[in-house]
Amino acid sequence: MLHTVEWKVRLYLSDDEGTTRARVVVNTGTTTLTGHGAARCNPADSDVPEIGDELAAGRAMHDLGRQLVSTAERDIKGLGTPAGERSARPVAGWLV
């Protein structure tokens, strides 16, 4: 069974008074999720904007990833398999 799908992911970065903020949005066609992240340069460190971008973007993507996994876990539970009948290795192959 071949399954190919493309999800569009958009990453937005902004800097305001030394704080870099990131917002990452994914639209799966049925669900839109948004992850958020931020980074602030320590006053004792050199100000390198690329590092703030990387940290904020990484944190936003981490937040988005957590949301995607939570959504998948809810969907798996929604399949109706009673909790007592679940094995450590799911029959469907979706190990979470």
pLDDT at 94 over 60: no
Place of tokens 């398999």: 81
Q: Is the pLDDT of residue 62 over 90?
A: yes
Residue 35 in contact with residue 67, Cβ under 8 Å? yes
Give the containing element (helix H, strand E) for 55: helix 49-77
What does the block give as tokens for 23? 């917002």
Domain residue ranges in the chain: 8-80
Task: Read off the pLDDT band of 36 (50, 70, 90).
Answer: very high
Q: What is the third-level CATH fold of 8-80? A: Double Stranded RNA Binding Domain (3.30.160)
User: 4-15: per-residue pLDDT in tens?
Assistant: 999 999 999 999
Predicted confidence at residue 18, as pLDDT, reads 84
